[in-house]
Amino acid sequence: MNVLLKELKLNLKSLIIWCLAQCFIIFAGMMKYQGFADSEVDVSALFDSLPKEVLTVLGMESVNIATIPGFYSVFFLYFMLLAAVHAIMYGAIAVSREERDHCADFIYTRPRRRFQIITPKLIGGVINLIVFNAVTFVASVGFIAYYNDGNGMISEVSVTMLALFFLQLFFLAIGSFFGAISPSTKIATSLSTGFVMLTFLFSVIADLVDAADFLGTLSPFNAFNAQDLVINGQLEGLPALILLAATLVFSGLCILSFHFRNLKT
């Protein structure tokens, strides 16, 4: 319990900054929606006829961004990117923080097993993710309601946030796994950066080139389809299950490899 409280306190400031950044992103995006809504007439017809390569280059998927749900579905990628960076870095640091700050001598000499210390740290991470997710939810519903005559699309946004939460958990687990297997925080965060960049590029290329669809299956950024989530309000079960399974596996591997780790003092 003490470990959990300490974790939450340590991360409070960075969590607040992340949440503010997220609110700003939603604000900055939705602010200009009005401009799109005004010119709806031609745009909708035209966008349907454009090939997806062109839309990818333009920064839009093949959805009609002149409607609120279509416009909001574009946001899912932004949320994923920021949430991935937040979660993976949290995981990478939470596990190796004590060694970085040279205070491992104080916590790991207590009469507690290592997993009893790591588990509350990971739970603290999950709480951070939930707060991040909840703030995104509230900000989204608020801004959507403002531009959509009071209709906040609560059910669709909830499904979207649920999908985002699965991704967050996955990235937290991967990050903590990197933290547990690397000798230092620096290497853990470098590995995490590489992982986020590589999977992001995979998803971009998979969207662009038909022949590269196999790269998309490797990328968590492609696990969910923003259109299904936001427009149809449907969450695909299989990717969610795979992500959840991967989360459990990597969390387990993290606890296991941390158990055998040679702690630097």
Partner 1 sequence: MNMIKQELRMNLRSLITWCLSLLAILILFMLFFPALSDQMEEFQKVFNSFPPAFQAALKLDTITIDSIMGYYQFAFSFILLGGAIQAMNLGVAIISQEVRMKTGDFLFVKPITRNRVVTMKMLAALILITMTNLILGIGASIVLLITDAQSFDLKTFLLINGSLFFTQLFFLSLGLFLSAFLKRIRTVLPLSLGVVFFFYVISMIQETVNDPKLRLISPFDYFNLAEIMERMEYNAFYLLLWMLLIILFVLGTYWLFRRKDLPAI
Asked if 74 and 226 touch (Cβ cutoff 8 Å), the reply is: yes
Question: Does 25 contact partner 1 by CB under 8 A?
Answer: yes
User: Which segment (14-22, 123-131, 137-145, 156-164) binds partner 1 by CB under 8 A?
Assistant: 14-22
What is the Cα–Cα distance from 141 to 164, expressed in whole angstroms? 15
Token readout for 149 is 């005559």
Question: Does 54 contact partner 1 by CB under 8 A?
Answer: yes
Sole residue written with tokens 């960076």: 85
Closest CA to 162 of 222, 220, 235: 235
User: Which segment (134-142, 162-170, 182-190, 224-232) binds partner 1 by CB under 8 A?
Assistant: 182-190
Question: Does 121 contact partner 1 by CB under 8 A?
Answer: no
User: Which segment (125-133, 145-153, 165-173, 207-215) binds partner 1 by CB under 8 A?
Assistant: 207-215
Token readout for 121 is 């740290």
Question: Does 196 contact partner 1 by CB under 8 A?
Answer: yes
Question: Does 261 contact partner 1 by CB under 8 A?
Answer: no
**If DSSP codes are grouped into helix, strand and coil, which group holds residue 71?**
helix
Residue from the set 70, 73, 86, 255 that interacts with partner 1 by CB under 8 A = 86
Residue from the set 5, 12, 16, 28 that interacts with partner 1 by CB under 8 A = 28
**If DSSP codes are grouped into helix, strand and coil, which group holds residue 209?**
coil
Q: Which is nearer to partner 1, 100 or 235 (CB)?
A: 100
What is the Cα–Cα distance from 135 to 201, expressed in whole angstroms? 27
Q: Which is nearer to partner 1, 85 or 235 (CB)?
A: 85
H or E, element range at 74: helix 68-100
From residue 219, alpha-carbon distances to 200, 239, 244 in Å are: 7, 11, 15
User: Which segment (81-89, 110-118, 131-139, 253-261) binds partner 1 by CB under 8 A?
Assistant: 81-89
Token readout for 39 is 């010119």
What is the Cα–Cα distance from 139 to 22, expressed in whole angstroms? 8
Token readout for 245 is 């399974």
Question: Does 229 contact partner 1 by CB under 8 A?
Answer: no
Sole residue written with tokens 């990597």: 250
Q: Which is nearer to partner 1, 60 or 226 (CB)?
A: 60
Token readout for 44 is 């909708």
Question: Does 182 contact partner 1 by CB under 8 A?
Answer: no
Residues that bind partner 1 (CB under 8 A): 14, 18, 21, 25, 28-29, 31-33, 35-36, 42, 46, 49-51, 53-54, 57-60, 65, 74, 77-78, 81-82, 85-86, 89, 93, 100-101, 185-186, 189-190, 192-194, 196-197, 201, 204-205, 208-212
